[in-house]
Structure 1
């Protein structure tokens, strides 16, 4: 089989397409013939060992997201049909409940070998079936960004107000999921063109944060002075204070990224006097995946995919990974495997 592998050195020079023997599923595992994979910013960091010791060791098969078709069952596996499409959950060791530190050893694409290969073995109890209405490319996008957005929206329901930032994968999923629940969504971006696309996806209010740098105050105006119930915080250092201003008393800031910086100075009295909550979100458990899949099946949500879909072989994956940080895409970047 073919697989992409980082070997020899932690950088793009160490990334290459190579031949490898197909794995055999061990006890409690299934073998997946991968149909499509998708990219996250985590993958570009991982190539340069951006997660330190959590990156694992070389050689390493990259990528965390993908979907495959079951082609073999390991000993003891029951209740899974041959030919069924299944998604290998990002964290193979986080089955339910709160995450424990030891589960970080079970994340795909570092330290465990990831999805960028034609065949992969995965723990049967850490895979979930894919909603039938989704294409392979759409299903391949759910492993990291979708589950992060789903967990970030905990408690959001009809009548809630949610603020999303930008047009990355988590933000787009958060917008779609919040609208499917009946929430009002205020979307921010620095691009007028992308704001129009967010409007097409259902955003109720649009804020260009370059034109309105004090956008937290603008959120208050749009919510009749009350503030948002939740902000999905992507920016980090340069946006977190605007986000804290935007949320209502008792509201929540779901922190999932630090695109604009890792260090921030926060007005702490503004937080504790108004009972505002800040919670970190990093993907989810297998049980969370099952619940999210049920919701996606019920609502008919379809992930947004960028217009450019890359091929697995030749230079496709390398080109996709190098293009991702440039930010020219809209929606998830997908690589077709089969």
Structure 2
């Protein structure tokens, strides 16, 4: 089969290759991949800044995929040939709290990912792909949508009338804004581009949406307080990390929740403890979610007719260009179509 292999760190070391089609073992599915979507995690793995000591080489990267089951291993009962399925990042996390070793079973690193014509999924980790979505649309769900869903519902317990602060206009952030609005919450979105803020307002088509340009408002937390009557956001989706976490604390209400989902501006921070203590803020790291949360999310997305926002779909042979697009900062998701028509 055709696959992209990460031979060493650096995008120039992502190379097209021919490899053997894997054979499903008991309990496993062989899936013909229809599409994959890219996340910052995938870029960080390629760049060598995401747990580099855990990256096997060569590696088929990219965790988030949607496709069709073409062969099943012995004992499979949850799916049959012809079913459309989604991957899940944490392939052993089915329900409840995560185990201490979940990262050892992540697709796209250290396990082989979906940037190939075929991939292996265990039947217990696979999720039925929404019938209302194409493979391209469904491929955006496993990390971006599920991270936003879990942060807002399972952790943040967002309710109608509350305020959700969302950083940026990438995949997780757009899904978070859509899910928050569907819950009846108010949304504040930050971006460095006024045109992206305008796109979010047009997409959500709601008077419950405000935008802040953090380039023209570098003290953006003060603007959040202004927009919320001095209270701050009930739930903040922090995708940036770095020292910006201090502004997230300032922008979040007393005893509010910060869902730390990303590290776009840095994996370390100088956290000012006194504001954190005085505001009694909860900072919760979010590493996606279990399969059962994915299944609940799909029901919600279908009921509220929420569709993924895709900035561009690339062909399989344009994988490098897709990663370059991701590095520039897309509005929504970057997708790679895989297959004979790609």
Please state how far the C-alpha of 1:50 moved relative to its aligned partner: 2.4
Deviations 1:258-283 (A, max 9, x none): 22233333332222223211111111
CA contact (8 A) 1:131 1:296 kept: no
Question: 1:7-43: per-residue Cα shift (whole Å, max 9, x none)?
Answer: 2x33333321111222221100111111011111211
Deviation at 1:230? 0.9
Please list, as runs of the form range in 1=range in 2, the aligned pairs for 1:228-239 lying within 5 A after superposition.
228-239=233-244
Q: Look up the match of 1:160.
A: 162
Per-residue CA distance 1:137-180 (angstroms, 9 max, x = gap) = 11011111111111211301211110011111111111011111
How far off is 1:226 after superposition? 2.1
- The within-5 A match list for 1:74-93 is 74-93=73-92
Residue in structure 1 matched with residue 313 of structure 2 by the alignment: 309
Aligned residue number for residue 139 of structure 2: 140
- How many angstroms does 1:120 deviate by? 1.2
Give the counterpart of 1:252 among 254, 257, 264: 257
Secondary structure of the structure 1 residue equivalent to 2:119: strand
RMSD across aligned C-alpha pairs, in angstroms? 1.6
- Alpha carbons 1:54, 1:111 under 8 Å: kept: no
Could you tell me which runs of 5 or more consecutive residues in structure 2 were left unpaired when the two chains were aligned: none
Contact 2:90 2:105 in 1 (8 A): yes
Distance 1:126 1:222 in 2: 41
Q: Which residue of 1 aligns with 2:334?
A: 333
Q: How do 1:1-338 and structure 2 match up within 5 A?
A: 1-7=1-7, 9-52=8-51, 55-154=54-153, 155-202=157-204, 204-306=209-311, 308-313=312-317, 316-327=318-329, 329-338=330-339
Q: Deviations over 1:97-152 (max 9, x none)?
A: 22223221111111000001111121001000011111211101111111111121
Contact 1:251 1:277 (C-alpha < 8 Å) held by counterparts: yes
Confirm or deny: 8 A CA contact 1:158 1:183 kept in the other structure: yes
Shift of residue 54 of structure 1?
Answer: 5.6
> Is the 1:54–1:105 contact (alpha carbons within 8 Å) kept by the matching residues of 2?
no
Give SS of 1:90's match: coil
For 1:222 and 1:60, locate their aligned partners in 2 and report how far apart those are by CA, in whole Å. Answer: 46
Following superposition, the deviation at residue 92 of structure 1 comes to 0.9
TM-score, structure 1 as length reference: 0.94
C-alpha spacing 1:260/1:49, structure 2 compared with 1 (3 Å): closer
Give the paired residue count: 333
2: distance between equivalents of 1:281 and 1:102? 15
Tell me how far 1:221 sits from its aligned partner. 1.8
Asked if structure 1 preserves the Cα contact closer than 8 Å seen for 2:166 and 2:187, the reply is yes
Partner Cα separation in structure 2 for residue 91 and residue 263 of structure 1: 24
User: What TM-score do the two structures reach when normalised by structure 2?
Assistant: 0.93
